[in-house]
Structures are given as structure tokens and as C-alpha cells.
Amino acid sequence: MKNNYLILVNQEQPLPRFFQPGQLILGRDNVYLEEQTHLKLMALLNEIDGQQSIRLVNGFRSIEEQQLLYDTSVKEFGMTYTKKYVAKPLCSEHHTGLAVDLTTSLANETHLISPEFDWQKNKLVQLFLTKMSDFGFIQRYPEGKEHLTGISYEPWHFRYVGRQHSKKMQALDLCLEEYVLQLGAGVQ
């Protein structure tokens, strides 16, 4: 089956229970990503000379792993925090292999749920944000779109949608929920 790079996964649209991701690749930092997502991310990091300074924190995650992460987060950080940042199993786009969390922190003790990727502190992050749409990536949970995505602003979480779509989404300032809705309505 052809990969659906525009697949929408959120609290209201969980994946089917037996969802199968596309071909996964074990890439850098022991992170699994869908083949094309991995390829384009590496190209982007090469382009900005970020292979040394940007680490991959999370990529593909199984439904079982998401359950464990969710339960652990509730235990350690409480329900309010968990609801803000951790999707329920089947509702996380990390199941698709098309999403990646990045950090500029090279410390071993990186926070797994909210890793540091701060454009205000880091020029390389600014460069990443400037170039990402050329390589098919979008910031999936932008500031100001929380009411649409259902997830708080996550500066570290990126999603591969393919260049054709990422360029349009950036130009029109649309999050994936808005974009998919517009495409469905025939507006291109």
C-alpha cells in the first residue's frame, strides 16, 4: 500500500487497532522512522550541518510503548501534564513513523516527553525551522493552534508530510487539521 503522508491522527481520530506503518528504518540514535521520513530528515540535517548538534529523541513508537509512556507520565508528572503532552495509545502519530522529536541537548538525561529544541536559544534550531518545509517537514503542534490540534505547543515535534504539502501548509499557515479539512473540501 502506498504511504499516506497526510494521515491525520489525533485525539478524535485514533488509528485503527491493526494499523501498520510504512517500511521502518533503524536510523541514528536508535530511533526508528518510516523510510522516506528518515531519508529526508537526514538530508535536512546535512543541509544545515546539524548532524552533530541535533539528536533524535523519539520516532516510531508501538501502541504498547505508547501505553507505557502514558501510564508512566501519569504516575510521574500527573494527569494535567500528561493530557497536555502525551497522546493516548492509537492517538499518537508516532505510531506512523512519520513523526520525530528532536533535541539540541546532548546530555544523557534528555527529557523524553518534552525535549529541549528552543529556537530562541539556538541558531541551529532557527535554521532547521527555516529549511524544514523544503524537505517536507512541518511543526505539527504550533503555538496558537492548540484549539485545533488538541495538543499544547510542542517545539520539538516534527511531522513528515512531503514537500508538496509542507510548502503549501507553511505558505497558508495551516496546521494539519486545517489543511486536511481544506483538501477534503476541494480547496487546493
Give catalytic residue positions: 154
Q: Does 55 contact Zn ion by CB under 5 A?
A: no
CB of 188 to Zn ion, least distance (A): 28
| Closer Cβ to Zn ion, 49 or 88, answer by number | 88
Taking residue 186's Cβ as centre, other Cβ atoms within 10 Å add up to 6
CB of 185 to Zn ion, least distance (A): 28
> Where are the strands (E) in the chain, listed by range?
24-26, 32-34, 55-58, 99-103, 137-139, 157-160
φ, ψ for residue 121 (rounded to 5)? -100, -15
| Closer Cβ to Zn ion, 45 or 87, answer by number | 87
| Closer Cβ to Zn ion, 51 or 152, answer by number | 152
d(CA 111, CA 85): 12
Q: Which residue, among 102, 81, 84, has the nearest Cα to 159 in the 3D structure?
A: 102
Please give the DSSP secondary-structure letter assigned to residue 59: -
What cell was used for 20? 501498520
Q: Does 101 contact Zn ion by CB under 5 A?
A: yes
Q: Does 61 contact Zn ion by CB under 5 A?
A: no
Convert residues 147-166 into a mask of x (bound to Zn ion by CB under 5 A) and - (unbound): ----------x---------
Q: For residue 127, give the H/E element and its range.
A: helix 123-131
Candidates 6-14, 24-32, 44-52, 98-106: pick the segment binding Zn ion (CB under 5 A). Answer: 98-106
Query: Which spans of this chain sit near Zn ion (rule: CB under 5 A)?
Result: 101, 157
